[in-house]
Amino acid sequence: MLAKKMETALVNQVHEEMYSFYLYLAMAEYAAAEGLPGLQHWMRNQALEEFSHAVKFMNYIAEKGGKSELKALQAPPKAWKSAKQVFEEALKHEGHITECINNLVDLAYTLKDHATVNFLNWFVGEQVEEEAAAKAVIDMINLTGNAPGGMFMIDRELAARPAAPNPYNPTPAA
């Protein structure tokens, strides 16, 4: 059974993850409008990954006897100055999510909720990957500078990102 304080905090994290889903979808639509199909693919996959995180939280809350609540989402931005700014915003956002996860871990330790600490440890590791992925693209963009075809090559690289898993069937049938 979840302590009410922990349940409320986890429900709030569902909202954070759903906003992340919404933000990355907006970034994907920006990419489509800019003619960057690789960036669009990357961001749509990122959006699906964030949706899967929300579902993981909702499943955990239910497993522990709690109840999730979906809250209204704020509209995300619609436009950015460049692909680089998209990834800078993504990195900043992932830093915010890392802070949220760390706060959840701190609360779980305070409440001596070891099961939730164990559950959250996966997200701690995931956030390291999330921040590193956004930073890696920023680094690629910085390396190309204003080189002709630089963004074209990066866009092709972004298109190679593997598809995000289905949160309702994470292991597809062979």
CB 155 within 8 A of CB 38: yes
Percent composition of the chain: helix, strand, coil (DSSP 3-state, to 5): 70, 0, 25
DSSP symbols for 110-163: HTT-HHHHHHHHHHHHHHHHHHHHHHHHHHHHHHHTT-TTHHHHHHHHHHTPPP
pLDDT for 120-130, tens place per residue? Answer: 999 999 999 99
Question: Does some domain include residue 119?
Answer: yes
Question: Does some domain include residue 174?
Answer: no
User: In whole angstroms, how far apart are CA 132 and each of 48, 125, 146, 153, 154?
Assistant: 18, 11, 23, 20, 16
Question: Does some domain include residue 21?
Answer: yes
pTM greater than the 0.85 cutoff: yes
pLDDT for 131-173, tens place per residue? Answer: 999 999 999 999 998 888 999 999 999 999 888 777 766 555 5
Q: What per-residue confidence (pLDDT) applies to 172?
A: 54
Residue 19: what residue type? Y
Whether pLDDT at 94 is above 70: yes
Question: Does some domain include residue 171?
Answer: no
Question: Does some domain include residue 173?
Answer: no
Domain of 122: which CATH number? Answer: 1.20.1260.10
What is the residue range of 29's domain?
4-72+82-159
Domains held by the chain: number: 1
SS3 169: strand
Question: Does some domain include residue 34?
Answer: yes
